[in-house]
Amino acid sequence: MALKIRNHAFKWGERTYLMGILNVTPDSFSDGGEFDNLASALSKARNMIDNGVDIIDIGGESTRPNAEAISLETELNRVIPVIKQLRSTTSIPISIDTTKAAVAQAAIEAGADIVNDISGGTFDPEMLTTVAQLNVPIILMHIRGTPKTMQKLTEYQDLVGEILQFLKIQIEKAIACGISESNIIIDPGIGFGKNQQQSIKLLQDLSKFKALNLPMLVGVSRKSFMKPILNQNNAKDRVWGTAAACYSAIARGADILRVHDVPEMYDVCRVADAIEHNFIRYQN
Protein backbone atom coordinates (compact mmCIF):
# COMPACT_ATOMS: atom_id res chain seq x y z
CA MET A 1 0.00 0.00 0.00
CA ALA A 2 1.16 3.50 -0.76
CA LEU A 3 -0.19 7.04 -0.59
CA LYS A 4 1.06 9.92 -2.70
CA ILE A 5 0.66 13.50 -1.53
CA ARG A 6 2.03 16.13 -3.88
CA ASN A 7 5.53 14.86 -4.69
CA HIS A 8 5.84 12.78 -1.51
CA ALA A 9 5.22 9.01 -1.48
CA PHE A 10 4.22 7.20 1.71
CA LYS A 11 5.06 3.51 1.34
CA TRP A 12 3.43 1.92 4.36
CA GLY A 13 5.48 -0.79 6.01
CA GLU A 14 8.75 0.29 4.40
CA ARG A 15 9.74 2.87 7.00
CA THR A 16 8.32 5.11 9.72
CA TYR A 17 7.10 8.61 8.86
CA LEU A 18 7.26 11.60 11.19
CA MET A 19 4.41 14.03 11.69
CA GLY A 20 5.62 17.20 13.36
CA ILE A 21 3.26 19.00 15.72
CA LEU A 22 2.64 22.69 15.12
CA ASN A 23 0.21 23.99 17.73
CA VAL A 24 -0.82 27.55 16.91
CA THR A 25 -2.67 27.75 20.22
CA PRO A 26 -2.20 29.63 23.49
CA ASP A 27 -3.06 26.65 25.69
CA SER A 28 -1.73 23.32 24.38
CA PHE A 29 -0.40 21.07 27.15
CA SER A 30 3.26 21.17 26.13
CA ASP A 31 3.96 24.21 23.98
CA GLY A 32 0.92 26.46 24.25
CA GLY A 33 1.71 30.06 23.34
CA GLU A 34 5.07 29.32 21.76
CA PHE A 35 3.92 29.28 18.13
CA ASP A 36 0.66 31.22 18.20
CA ASN A 37 1.85 33.97 15.86
CA LEU A 38 2.66 33.67 12.18
CA ALA A 39 6.40 34.33 12.42
CA SER A 40 7.10 31.83 15.21
CA ALA A 41 4.86 29.20 13.61
CA LEU A 42 6.63 29.43 10.26
CA SER A 43 10.04 29.36 11.94
CA LYS A 44 9.07 26.18 13.79
CA ALA A 45 7.77 24.62 10.58
CA ARG A 46 10.98 25.40 8.70
CA ASN A 47 13.02 23.91 11.54
CA MET A 48 11.01 20.69 11.40
CA ILE A 49 11.41 20.47 7.63
CA ASP A 50 15.17 20.97 7.94
CA ASN A 51 15.26 18.11 10.46
CA GLY A 52 13.53 15.51 8.33
CA VAL A 53 9.81 15.76 9.10
CA ASP A 54 7.43 14.11 6.61
CA ILE A 55 4.16 15.86 7.54
CA ILE A 56 3.39 19.04 9.47
CA ASP A 57 0.23 18.85 11.57
CA ILE A 58 -1.27 22.29 12.23
CA GLY A 59 -3.81 22.65 15.00
CA GLY A 60 -5.64 25.72 16.25
CA GLU A 61 -7.66 24.20 19.10
CA SER A 62 -6.07 22.56 22.12
CA THR A 63 -7.16 18.98 22.79
CA ARG A 64 -5.37 18.63 26.13
CA PRO A 65 -7.42 17.22 29.03
CA ASN A 66 -10.00 19.75 30.29
CA ALA A 67 -9.53 22.03 27.29
CA GLU A 68 -12.42 24.32 26.46
CA ALA A 69 -13.92 24.38 22.97
CA ILE A 70 -13.31 27.45 20.80
CA SER A 71 -15.36 29.10 18.09
CA LEU A 72 -15.13 28.29 14.40
CA GLU A 73 -13.97 31.83 13.65
CA THR A 74 -11.17 31.67 16.23
CA GLU A 75 -9.89 28.35 14.90
CA LEU A 76 -9.94 29.56 11.30
CA ASN A 77 -8.11 32.75 12.21
CA ARG A 78 -5.36 30.73 13.88
CA VAL A 79 -4.70 28.08 11.25
CA ILE A 80 -5.52 29.43 7.78
CA PRO A 81 -2.83 32.16 7.59
CA VAL A 82 -0.17 29.65 8.67
CA ILE A 83 -1.29 27.06 6.13
CA LYS A 84 -1.38 29.60 3.29
CA GLN A 85 2.03 31.01 4.07
CA LEU A 86 3.63 27.60 4.60
CA ARG A 87 2.15 26.21 1.41
CA SER A 88 3.57 29.14 -0.57
CA THR A 89 7.11 28.10 0.38
CA THR A 90 7.14 24.29 0.52
CA SER A 91 5.54 21.15 -0.88
CA ILE A 92 5.71 19.39 2.51
CA PRO A 93 2.43 17.54 3.22
CA ILE A 94 0.29 19.50 5.70
CA SER A 95 -2.42 18.04 7.90
CA ILE A 96 -5.10 20.05 9.64
CA ASP A 97 -5.81 18.94 13.20
CA THR A 98 -9.51 19.72 13.58
CA THR A 99 -12.88 18.20 14.42
CA LYS A 100 -14.85 20.81 12.43
CA ALA A 101 -15.83 20.12 8.83
CA ALA A 102 -15.78 23.83 7.97
CA VAL A 103 -12.20 24.15 9.21
CA ALA A 104 -11.20 21.03 7.28
CA GLN A 105 -12.73 22.46 4.09
CA ALA A 106 -11.08 25.85 4.49
CA ALA A 107 -7.72 24.31 5.37
CA ILE A 108 -7.66 22.02 2.34
CA GLU A 109 -8.62 24.96 0.13
CA ALA A 110 -5.76 26.94 1.70
CA GLY A 111 -3.22 24.22 0.86
CA ALA A 112 -3.47 21.46 3.48
CA ASP A 113 -3.53 17.84 2.32
CA ILE A 114 -4.79 15.65 5.19
CA VAL A 115 -7.53 15.93 7.81
CA ASN A 116 -6.53 14.75 11.29
CA ASP A 117 -9.75 14.35 13.32
CA ILE A 118 -9.27 13.34 16.96
CA SER A 119 -12.96 12.48 17.17
CA GLY A 120 -12.76 9.93 14.39
CA GLY A 121 -15.47 11.80 12.53
CA THR A 122 -17.93 11.81 15.43
CA PHE A 123 -18.00 15.43 16.64
CA ASP A 124 -19.21 17.00 13.39
CA PRO A 125 -21.83 15.06 11.38
CA GLU A 126 -20.60 16.77 8.21
CA MET A 127 -16.94 15.76 8.58
CA LEU A 128 -16.94 12.45 6.72
CA THR A 129 -19.02 13.68 3.79
CA THR A 130 -16.85 16.80 3.56
CA VAL A 131 -13.64 14.78 3.46
CA ALA A 132 -15.17 12.47 0.85
CA GLN A 133 -15.98 15.47 -1.35
CA LEU A 134 -12.47 16.87 -0.85
CA ASN A 135 -10.96 13.46 -1.73
CA VAL A 136 -8.14 13.74 0.80
CA PRO A 137 -6.79 11.36 3.45
CA ILE A 138 -8.33 11.38 6.92
CA ILE A 139 -6.90 10.19 10.21
CA LEU A 140 -9.58 8.62 12.39
CA MET A 141 -8.68 8.61 16.08
CA HIS A 142 -10.44 6.97 19.00
CA ILE A 143 -11.65 9.17 21.83
CA ARG A 144 -14.31 9.02 24.52
CA GLY A 145 -16.25 12.16 25.31
CA THR A 146 -14.55 15.46 24.54
CA PRO A 147 -11.19 16.87 25.67
CA LYS A 148 -13.16 18.52 28.50
CA THR A 149 -14.63 15.21 29.73
CA MET A 150 -12.46 12.40 28.34
CA GLN A 151 -10.38 11.69 31.44
CA LYS A 152 -13.58 10.96 33.38
CA LEU A 153 -14.57 8.28 30.86
CA THR A 154 -11.86 5.66 31.27
CA GLU A 155 -13.94 2.60 32.25
CA TYR A 156 -13.55 -0.22 29.75
CA GLN A 157 -14.54 -3.87 29.83
CA ASP A 158 -12.23 -4.70 26.93
CA LEU A 159 -9.87 -1.82 26.17
CA VAL A 160 -8.41 -2.96 22.85
CA GLY A 161 -11.59 -4.69 21.71
CA GLU A 162 -13.75 -1.60 22.31
CA ILE A 163 -11.30 0.70 20.53
CA LEU A 164 -11.05 -1.70 17.60
CA GLN A 165 -14.85 -1.82 17.38
CA PHE A 166 -15.09 1.99 17.40
CA LEU A 167 -12.51 2.26 14.63
CA LYS A 168 -14.21 -0.46 12.55
CA ILE A 169 -17.51 1.41 12.77
CA GLN A 170 -15.96 4.75 11.81
CA ILE A 171 -14.03 3.16 8.95
CA GLU A 172 -17.27 1.66 7.62
CA LYS A 173 -19.04 5.02 7.95
CA ALA A 174 -16.19 6.79 6.17
CA ILE A 175 -16.28 4.35 3.27
CA ALA A 176 -20.08 4.59 3.10
CA CYS A 177 -19.73 8.38 2.81
CA GLY A 178 -17.41 7.95 -0.16
CA ILE A 179 -13.95 8.08 1.41
CA SER A 180 -11.58 5.69 -0.31
CA GLU A 181 -10.16 3.01 1.98
CA SER A 182 -6.70 3.99 0.73
CA ASN A 183 -7.32 7.47 2.20
CA ILE A 184 -7.97 6.23 5.75
CA ILE A 185 -5.37 6.19 8.53
CA ILE A 186 -6.19 5.03 12.06
CA ASP A 187 -5.01 6.25 15.47
CA PRO A 188 -5.82 4.37 18.72
CA GLY A 189 -5.70 7.66 20.65
CA ILE A 190 -3.07 7.19 23.34
CA GLY A 191 -4.11 9.28 26.36
CA PHE A 192 -7.49 10.33 24.97
CA GLY A 193 -10.00 8.84 27.37
CA LYS A 194 -7.33 6.46 28.69
CA ASN A 195 -5.47 6.53 31.98
CA GLN A 196 -1.78 5.76 32.43
CA GLN A 197 -2.16 2.00 32.66
CA GLN A 198 -4.48 1.91 29.67
CA SER A 199 -2.11 4.00 27.54
CA ILE A 200 0.71 1.59 28.34
CA LYS A 201 -1.55 -1.38 27.59
CA LEU A 202 -2.44 0.13 24.21
CA LEU A 203 1.23 0.53 23.36
CA GLN A 204 1.86 -3.09 24.35
CA ASP A 205 -1.00 -4.26 22.11
CA LEU A 206 -0.53 -1.95 19.12
CA SER A 207 0.10 -4.87 16.79
CA LYS A 208 -3.54 -5.93 17.22
CA PHE A 209 -4.63 -2.84 15.31
CA LYS A 210 -2.82 -4.10 12.21
CA ALA A 211 -5.82 -6.42 11.79
CA LEU A 212 -7.64 -3.39 10.34
CA ASN A 213 -5.19 -3.45 7.40
CA LEU A 214 -4.76 0.31 7.44
CA PRO A 215 -1.77 2.55 8.15
CA MET A 216 -1.55 3.54 11.81
CA LEU A 217 -0.55 6.81 13.41
CA VAL A 218 0.58 6.78 17.05
CA GLY A 219 0.93 9.86 19.24
CA VAL A 220 2.94 9.41 22.42
CA SER A 221 4.97 12.61 22.39
CA ARG A 222 5.59 14.05 25.89
CA LYS A 223 2.31 12.54 27.13
CA SER A 224 1.32 12.35 30.77
CA PHE A 225 1.36 8.54 31.02
CA MET A 226 5.15 8.94 31.28
CA LYS A 227 4.96 11.49 34.10
CA PRO A 228 4.98 9.06 37.08
CA ILE A 229 7.46 6.74 35.37
CA LEU A 230 10.00 9.50 34.76
CA ASN A 231 9.01 11.72 37.68
CA GLN A 232 8.92 14.61 35.20
CA ASN A 233 6.19 17.21 35.66
CA ASN A 234 7.47 19.32 32.78
CA ALA A 235 6.30 17.77 29.51
CA LYS A 236 9.40 19.02 27.66
CA ASP A 237 11.59 16.92 29.96
CA ARG A 238 10.00 13.71 28.64
CA VAL A 239 11.90 13.66 25.36
CA TRP A 240 13.81 10.44 26.07
CA GLY A 241 10.73 8.78 27.51
CA THR A 242 9.07 9.74 24.25
CA ALA A 243 11.98 8.17 22.37
CA ALA A 244 11.48 4.86 24.18
CA ALA A 245 7.74 4.91 23.53
CA CYS A 246 8.32 5.75 19.86
CA TYR A 247 10.68 2.81 19.41
CA SER A 248 8.13 0.52 21.05
CA ALA A 249 5.44 1.82 18.70
CA ILE A 250 7.62 1.26 15.64
CA ALA A 251 8.40 -2.29 16.73
CA ARG A 252 4.66 -2.98 17.02
CA GLY A 253 3.63 -1.61 13.66
CA ALA A 254 3.24 2.18 13.82
CA ASP A 255 3.52 3.79 10.39
CA ILE A 256 3.45 7.45 11.48
CA LEU A 257 4.62 9.02 14.73
CA ARG A 258 3.16 12.38 15.76
CA VAL A 259 5.90 14.21 17.67
CA HIS A 260 7.05 17.54 19.09
CA ASP A 261 10.80 16.82 19.08
CA VAL A 262 11.54 16.16 15.42
CA PRO A 263 15.38 16.01 15.41
CA GLU A 264 15.52 13.50 18.27
CA MET A 265 12.69 11.33 16.99
CA TYR A 266 14.11 11.40 13.48
CA ASP A 267 17.20 9.67 14.85
CA VAL A 268 15.01 7.19 16.75
CA CYS A 269 13.23 6.36 13.50
CA ARG A 270 16.49 5.97 11.59
CA VAL A 271 17.83 3.39 14.02
CA ALA A 272 14.50 1.66 14.65
CA ASP A 273 13.78 1.36 10.92
CA ALA A 274 17.21 -0.16 10.31
CA ILE A 275 16.51 -2.78 12.98
CA GLU A 276 12.78 -3.39 12.48
CA HIS A 277 12.37 -2.81 8.71
CA ASN A 278 15.91 -3.28 7.41
CA PHE A 279 15.54 0.24 6.01
CA ILE A 280 18.52 2.55 6.20
CA ARG A 281 18.28 6.20 5.18
CA TYR A 282 21.39 8.24 4.76
CA GLN A 283 21.53 11.97 5.31
CA ASN A 284 22.64 14.06 2.35
DSSP 236-263: GGGHHHHHHHHHHHHHTT-SEEEES-HH
Rounded distance, CA 167 to CA 232, Å? 32
Q: Structural domain of residue 184, as residue ranges?
A: 15-276
In this prediction, residue 20 carries a pLDDT of 97
223 catalytic residue (yes or no) = yes
The secondary element (H helix, E strand) that includes residue 11 is strand 8-11
- Looking at residue 283, what is its pLDDT? 58
Q: Known catalytic residue: 281?
A: no
CB atoms within 10 A of CB 177: 16
At 193, which CATH number? Answer: 3.20.20.20
Number of domains composing the chain = 1
Is residue 131 situated within a structural domain?
Answer: yes
Residue 9 is assigned to a structural domain of this protein? no
Is 202 a member of any domain? Answer: yes
Report pLDDT for 80: 96
Task: Return phi, psi of residue 34, to 5°.
Answer: -80, -30
Give me the catalytic one of 78, 100, 223, 252.
223
In the set 78, 100, 194, 258, the catalytic residue is: 258
Indicate whether 91 belongs to any domain: yes
Query: Which pTM was predicted?
Result: 0.95
Say if 183 falls within a structural domain: yes
Residue 3 in any domain: the answer is no
Residue 284 domain flag: no
Task: Walk along the chain (284 residues) in steps of 10 and give the mean pLDDT of each run.
Answer: 93 97 75 70 95 97 84 95 96 98 98 98 98 98 94 96 98 98 98 96 98 98 96 94 98 98 97 96 63
